[in-house]
Amino acid sequence: MNLPDYFLADLPPAAALTPALIAEACQTLKRNRAHFLADRSTRQVIELLSHVAAEWLRADNPFRQLALEQGPAKTGFAPATLARGLDSFFGSVTRAQLEALVEQDLGEGRRLDATTAGSGEAGARRAAMACGPELLVHITAGRLPTPTFHSMVLGLLTRSAQFVKCASGAAFLPRLFAHSIYDCDRKVGACLEVAEWRGGNTALEEVLFAEAACVTVTGRDETLAAIRARLPPGTRFLGYGQRVSFAYVAGEALSGRQALHLAAAAAQDVVAWNQLGCLSPHVIYVQNGGEVGPRHFARLLAEELARREAVEPRGELSAEEAAGIASRRALYEVRAAHSAETQVWGSPASTAWTVVYEADARFQISCLNRFIYVKAVSHLAQALHAAEMVRGKVSTVGLAAPAAQAEQLVRQLARWGVTRVCPLGRMQAPPLAWRHDGRPALGDLVTWTDWERD
Amino acid sequence: MIPALTAFAARVRAGISAAESRPEQPAAPPAAAGAAGFSESEFNRLALELFALQFRHNPAYRRLCEARQAVPGQVRHWAEVPTVPAPAFKEFEFTCLPAAERTRVFHSSGTTGARPSQHFHCADSLALYEASLWPWLRRHFLPELPAGMARLRCAFLTPPPAQAPHSSLVHMFDTVGRNWPAAAAGGSGPAGPPPLFLGHVAADGAWTVDLPRAVACLEAACATGAPLALLGTAFSWVHLLDFLAEQDRRFRLPDGSRALETGGYKGRSRVLPRAELHARLCQQLGLPPAGVVSEYGMSELSSQAYDAVVRSGGGAGEEAPRAFRFPPWARVQIVSPESSREVADGQVGLVRVFDLANVWSVMAIQTEDLGVRRGDGFEWAGRAGAAEPRGCSLLAEEAGRRGAPARRAAPFLVRVRSRPSGVTVAERTGPGASSPARP
């Protein structure tokens, strides 16, 4: 299948992007939005999105096939990793989840269609309507496509024209998603643009920012700050900085059989997108005192990762990344040779997966690509104390705990600053309505018009 | 004293002397020269013997070998000898020397508060270090010796040894300085003046180049017409070149002048790619491209690699492709980080060094450097993400992964001038700087 040249990212690599080209693309997007998108109803957009998503889940879908054929070379993810990641995301883009998202963030399902009143407002003779930005620009980063897909879904819900600027070399999957929308509805597809260039091209970005009503940026904190400083006054900025995640397994959850399930779930979190997302765990804290102890759990996890490697291999890394893993693994092997407080399990003759058990609870940034720490703690408070250096930067905690303890643990995590808690095994599969970094992602895009009736 | 190690070191020294006394062939590739005492089979024999000695006398190393189930008797080839990752020298004492016999220690620097790596020495091991470093430096940096060098002056951009007693680099320069006058005189005629150290350690511990003295040294060379050999870390070179540029000063050093550059920057305020640094050395000091040589060394090693032989006579002819080569008493392997097997020529992998001159510590060192294999040498290609885990900063991890070049693990503290105000801040370079101690 050859993709037609609908988007800037479809142009051959030699084609030079110019500020004039970007400006023209933005104006076309706005025009198309006025004609084709602005007046669509929420129901119509939800219909379209859930249809596109359902198509992506079909084995014979040409965009999915292309993603799995060419994706490994273009993204570095093995086909099985890609397939699982795509299924997880598109499986969440259902009519029910889309409706739930709108209701959750805007209080009422038709807020984007008309002035409506929630129960509290009606009594006060008030109503309100939400409108999305005319042109929404996404500056994306990182190697995972799903945050970009998620941003595009939100932008369509708000009926915004969207310009998706990908990091160089990262446009392949967002481009396929845009094509799949175009394929389903050309008019809506004409309100999307996808381009890629190396960030910091001020000539192109100045034009883009001048046209944008709202800019979302994903990336390192310095990138966020630099872009924010370059936006014209009045352009809204939504930044999603770097986050880390970890898991916590309560001792009481670790009975013999359950421990195997939890090791498999933890392996899923390590394998998903090769651990490269902000929602992937760096460390799994395991509480002492369970039927299966932390070190034993680490061994179970290693066995599970070996099994997963056989069916869902991690794929090749750059020499630099592989060398990072090899070097760090070698250092832990020296430590392990000298102390029973460290133990290392790793794929033989490759860097495909590594488990490092440490009695030392201090949080460690993993070198990722299926390199996971398992650390022993006495209780959650000790884990949080040990993770103090990443406080305020933690997105997700994958939690395994008996129901009777869970609520109290979540309260503890919330007060400490964690923005999402989910079951172990689902860290990289947030529901569509999740509050990204603790903020209502859809709600943050809209502007309200309040109507106080006579 | 461990007589077996002393005896082994004496044999390595004898081999080095034999290699050194072979007829000089400055034009020949260095690797082809001096292989006499260290043929492949002889190297293998010596390496296995040294492995057995180190297994026996180096407890930290023995534990690692046992954990890896690679012990003397089973290991048949030098390339199978278990390697110690360089960062492990920060946490463990990889030495055969009992505490009472450690008279010197060389450190690599880390960031403030971090543990430095430690390479322990005694009089015998220092003597071997000196015996190893001089002939290989001489062969690459002073290929004209012993004749015709009487006028060549020498200066280092580092502090003198009294101020940096734990720097293996400064010790190396000091050794060069001690050997210099006699060598330059070629045994006939009067010896020249002793080399100068043009740096010092500031009150805050940072290394700094004494810029007025360095400029005076350049001026003197131009005035007298006596060629100048300058040796320094990459960062001290940047410091000096930036200063000259700010002052709008350019020099045309006399024919026969040369420069040696070693080490890196490690996330310093300004990093110059090696090619650019070399180009600026040529432009600003009037050196021919073939008058600039890079050195690869680490405080954990006792031998060094050089990427070219100086041709100081004006640079006629095409410059040979550069690749770092160790002396015949050391071997380098570029290994795949995945399989740990040697990569094919032209492929990139981790640099692994087997150094027979490392008698009292560990012969087999796994560095964190990436290299492209070029025959029996390599081209430096960056650094692996810092092995030593960090937990203190998300972004430090990111910076580490970006692999700012810094390969010398010698402890050089450099004063970085923040430009243009001239306000100075203390900075340290060296791979350790990327690897703060375990938090």
Q: Could you give the CA distance from residue B383 to residue A272 in angstroms, rounded to a whole number?
A: 27
Residue of B nearest to A339 (CA): B63
Where does residue B1 rank: exposed (0-12), middle (13-18), buried (19+ CB within 10 A)?
exposed
CA of B334 vs chain A CAs: smallest distance (Å): 11
* H-helix segments, B290-410: 394-402
As given in the structure block, the two tokens for residue B350 are: 């981790």
Residue of B nearest to A243 (CA): B394
CA of B434 vs chain A CAs: smallest distance (Å): 13
Confidence (pLDDT) at B268: 42
Name residues whose C-beta falls within 8 Å of residue B173's C-beta, 6 or more positions apart in sequence.
Answer: B156, B158, B161, B195, B197, B231
Q: Any chain B CB within 8 A of the CB of A315?
A: no
Higher pLDDT, B391 or A47: A47
- Interface probe for B, chosen from A329, A334, A395 (most Cβ of B below 10 Å), is A334
CA of B89 vs chain A CAs: smallest distance (Å): 10
Strands B292-296 and B305-306: antiparallel
Angle A172-184/A146-157 helices, nearest 10 degrees? 30
* Chain A partners within 8 Å of B67 (Cβ): 333, 336-337
Residue numbers of chain B with a pLDDT score lower than 50: 24-34, 111-112, 266-269, 390-439
Contact criterion met (CB < 8 Å) for B348 and A319: yes
One-character DSSP codes across A277-346? STTSEEEEEEETTSSS-HHHHHHHHHHHHHHHHHHS------HHHHHHHHHHHHHHHHHHHH-TTEEEEE
CA of A391 vs chain B CAs: smallest distance (Å): 11
Helix, strand, or coil (residue B385): coil
Shortest CB distance from B384 goes to which of A324, A338, A363?
A324
* Contact call for residues A400 and A241 (beta carbons, < 8 A): no
Q: Could you give the CA distance from residue B315 to residue B298 in angstroms, rounded to a whole number?
A: 30
- Vertex B352 angle, CA B350 and B358, to 5°: 155
Residue of A nearest to B66 (CA): A337
Shortest CB distance from A220 goes to which of B370, B389, B395?
B395
Give the pLDDT confidence of B84-141 residue by residue, as tens digits.
999 999 999 999 999 999 999 999 865 445 678 999 999 999 999 999 999 999 999 9
Shortest CB distance from A330 goes to which of B85, B348, B391?
B85
Q: Any chain B CB within 8 A of the CB of A5?
A: no
- Interface probe for A, chosen from B338, B341, B383 (most Cβ of A below 10 Å), is B338
Q: Which of A134, A321, A143, A355 is nearest to A247 (CA)?
A: A355
CA of B316 vs chain A CAs: smallest distance (Å): 37
> Which letter does DSSP use for residue A424 in this model?
T
- Vertex A109 angle, CA A104 and A111, to 5°: 100
Contact criterion met (CB < 8 Å) for A335 and B91: yes
Q: Could you give the CA distance from residue A345 to residue A74 in angstroms, rounded to a whole number?
A: 30
Shortest CB distance from A221 goes to which of B91, B92, B395?
B395
Q: Could you give the CA distance from residue A291 to residue A251 in angstroms, rounded to a whole number?
A: 7
Q: State the number of CA atoms in the 13 A half-sphere of A214 facing the CB.
A: 22
Contact criterion met (CB < 8 Å) for B350 and A320: no
Q: Which of A326, A328, A355 is nearest to A343 (CA)?
A: A355
* Contact call for residues B170 and B162 (beta carbons, < 8 A): no
* Chain A partners within 8 Å of B381 (Cβ): 319
With left for phi above 0 and alpha for psi between -120 and 50, is residue A137 left, alpha or beta? beta
Residue of B nearest to A317 (CA): B338
Residues of B with CB under 8 A from a CB of A: 60, 63-64, 66-68, 83-85, 87-88, 91-92, 336-340, 348-350, 366, 368, 370, 381-395, 397-398, 401, 403, 439
State the DSSP H helix or E strand holding residue A218, giving kind and residue range, or none if neither: strand A214-218
* Distances A165 to A158, A188, A196, A232, B411 between C-alpha atoms, Å: 19, 18, 5, 18, 43
Dihedral sign for Cα A164, A166, A170, A171, please.
Answer: positive
* Chain A partners within 8 Å of B340 (Cβ): 326, 349
* Contact call for residues B387 and B85 (beta carbons, < 8 A): yes
Q: Which of A229, A130, A240, A140 is nearest to A193 (CA)?
A: A140
* Contact call for residues A442 and A128 (beta carbons, < 8 A): no
Contact criterion met (CB < 8 Å) for B338 and A351: yes
Q: What are phi and psi of B256, to 5 degrees?
A: 95, -10
As given in the structure block, the two tokens for residue A207 are: 């034009």
* Chain B partners within 8 Å of A350 (Cβ): 338-339
Q: Could you give the CA distance from residue A398 to residue A372 in angstroms, rounded to a whole number?
A: 14
Contact criterion met (CB < 8 Å) for A320 and B403: yes
Contact criterion met (CB < 8 Å) for B339 and A244: no
* Contact call for residues B390 and A282 (beta carbons, < 8 A): no
Contact criterion met (CB < 8 Å) for A220 and B398: yes
Where does residue B59 rank: exposed (0-12), middle (13-18), buried (19+ CB within 10 A)?
middle
Q: What are phi and psi of B264, to 5 degrees?
A: -140, -150
**Percentage of chain A lying above the pLDDT 90 cut:** 92
* Chain A partners within 8 Å of B336 (Cβ): 322
State the DSSP H helix or E strand holding residue B306, giving kind and residue range, or none if neither: strand B305-306
As given in the structure block, the two tokens for residue A44 are: 């119509």
Q: Which of B329, B433, B365, B439 is nearest to B94 (CA)?
A: B365
* Contact call for residues B312 and B326 (beta carbons, < 8 A): no
Q: State the number of CA atoms in the 13 A half-sphere of B176 facing the CB.
A: 27
Q: Which of B238, B169, B175, B171 is nearest to B208 (CA)?
A: B238
* Contact call for residues B231 and B156 (beta carbons, < 8 A): yes
Confidence (pLDDT) at B397: 31
Q: What are phi and psi of A284, to 5 degrees?
A: -115, 115
- Tell me: ipTM over 0.85: yes
> Which letter does DSSP use for residue B327 in this model?
-
At position B266, the amino acid (one-letter code) is: K
At position A301, the amino acid (one-letter code) is: L
Name residues whose C-beta falls within 8 Å of residue A233's C-beta, 6 or more positions apart in sequence.
Answer: none
Shortest CB distance from B92 goes to which of A221, A334, A389?
A334
Residue of B nearest to A347 (CA): B338
Q: Could you give the CA distance from residue A72 to residue B226 in angstroms, rounded to a whole number?
A: 61
Strands B199-201 and A126-131: unpaired
Q: State the number of CA atoms in the 13 A half-sphere of B334 facing the CB.
A: 26
Where does residue B100 rank: exposed (0-12), middle (13-18), buried (19+ CB within 10 A)?
exposed
State the DSSP H helix or E strand holding residue A206, giving kind and residue range, or none if neither: helix A202-211
Q: Any chain B CB within 8 A of the CB of A206?
A: no
State the DSSP H helix or E strand holding residue A181, giving kind and residue range, or none if neither: helix A172-184
As given in the structure block, the two tokens for residue B323 are: 């690749």
CA of B77 vs chain A CAs: smallest distance (Å): 19
CA of A35 vs chain B CAs: smallest distance (Å): 44
Contact criterion met (CB < 8 Å) for A338 and B63: yes
Contact criterion met (CB < 8 Å) for B370 and A334: no
Contact criterion met (CB < 8 Å) for A322 and B338: yes
With left for phi above 0 and alpha for psi between -120 and 50, is residue B343 left, alpha or beta? beta
CA of B129 vs chain A CAs: smallest distance (Å): 26
Q: Could you give the CA distance from residue B409 to residue B413 in angstroms, rounded to a whole number?
A: 11
* H-helix segments, B271-393: 274-285
Confidence (pLDDT) at B436: 29
Q: Any chain B CB within 8 A of the CB of A283?
A: no
At position B89, the amino acid (one-letter code) is: F
Token look-up 């400083």 returns A229
Q: Could you give the CA distance from residue B265 to residue B406 in angstroms, rounded to a whole number?
A: 5
As given in the structure block, the two tokens for residue B181 are: 């006058």
- Interface probe for A, chosen from B68, B83, B394 (most Cβ of A below 10 Å), is B394
* Distances B356 to A60, A149, B84, B129 between C-alpha atoms, Å: 61, 56, 14, 10
Residue of A nearest to B67 (CA): A337
Shortest CB distance from B389 goes to which of A328, A330, A350?
A328
Confidence (pLDDT) at B405: 30
Dihedral sign for Cα A271, A275, A277, A282, please.
Answer: positive
pLDDT at A174 over 50: yes
CA of B368 vs chain A CAs: smallest distance (Å): 7
Q: Any chain B CB within 8 A of the CB of A171?
A: no
* Contact call for residues A366 and A372 (beta carbons, < 8 A): yes
Confidence (pLDDT) at A28: 97
Token look-up 């407080």 returns A341
Contact criterion met (CB < 8 Å) for B338 and A333: no
CA of B96 vs chain A CAs: smallest distance (Å): 17
